[in-house]
Amino acid sequence: MLTEVTATRYVTPLREGGSLPGIVEADDLGTYVVKFTGAGQGRKTLVAEVVCGQLARRLGLRIPELVTVQLDPVIGLGEPDQEVQELLKASGGLNLGMDYLPGSIGFDPLAYEVGPAEAGRVVWFDALINNVDRSWRNPNMLVWHGDLWLIDHGATMIWHHNWPGAAASAAKPYDASDHALAPFRPDVAAAAAELAPLVTEELLTEVTAEVPDEWLVDEPGFDSTDEVRRAYVAALLSRAAGIHERITLNEPSKPRPSQAPGWLAARLPVTGAGTGTEGAGA
């Protein structure tokens, strides 16, 4: 299970995040970037953060610690910002926290070199989870103490938005042409040889067990939360086996009008919206 902490103070919103994540202090004296259950993107974003984040960690990729954050909306009462107040009011109960990396900077391909082995591991992992949100427009990676850290796995596993079509969707290829690490000659074959054998039913069962029940309950078409967990396991397990052969790496696209679906467009930063092809591989 993820460690559970209790929010003690709402510090500030992170305006660059489409879902209005906020920096929150907790009773363990930790500081977290919190994604709220009351945000427009809904609880599936949080499920994706846990499943993909904890899977990444077990595969040896760098990702800040995840916790669940118990929130009493009363901590937002003094918030001057109406939007933040509404969000906190709608987010009582469990939310998702990610350890805040103080002093980290957003990944910039011109300022930070990544080797083909590491780039390959990240691209292969993103293909596995069908991450459409790690493009050069919005890399969702941080550099901290000289290392590359992965964040923001909310826009992944598109198949969980339509379970009846999940098997077909999970079988689709992955276009990594616009991936933020595409220029670093990612060695996806080596990454697949190393990582695919690790993605076992047992590992995925362990990872999905960490998703809080309340984010899975009453999923249409399922009788229990464990049945939902098994659906995540099945989709990822089948995808792990051969996805590296279906990753395409062509010339990156030029900016053009967004073709992202509405639920994703709302997550894109203002500067990226209207220019993206982030729907790649979806």
* Contact positions vs ligand ATP (CB under 6 A): 14, 16-19, 21, 33, 64, 98-101, 104, 106, 133, 138, 140, 142, 151-152, 154, 267, 269
Q: Judged by CB under 5 A, does residue 152 bind Mg ion?
A: yes
Question: How far apart are the C-alpha atoms of 109 and 184, rounded to whole Å?
Answer: 9
Amino acid at 124: W
CB of 25 to Mg ion, least distance (A): 21
CB of 170 to Mg ion, least distance (A): 23
Give the pair of three-digit tokens for residue 166: 């999940």
Provide the residue count of the chain: 282
Of 160 and 267, which has the nearer Cβ to ligand ATP?
Answer: 267
Which entry of ligand ATP, Mg ion, none binds 19, CB below 5 to 8 A by partner kind?
ligand ATP
The residue with its CB nearest to ligand ATP is 17
Question: How far apart are the C-alpha atoms of 158 and 169, rounded to whole Å?
Answer: 8
DSSP bridge partners of 68:
4, 96
Of 18 and 212, which has the nearer Cβ to ligand ATP?
Answer: 18
| DSSP secondary structure string for all residues of 257-271 | S----HHHHTTS-TT
Q: Judged by CB under 5 A, does residue 140 bind Mg ion?
A: yes
Please check whether residue 162 is in contact with residue 155, taking contact to mean a CB–CB distance below 8 angstroms.
no
Q: Restricting to residues 34-63, which ones interact with Mg ion according to CB under 5 A?
A: none
Which residue ranges make up the site for Mg ion (CB under 5 A)?
Answer: 140, 152
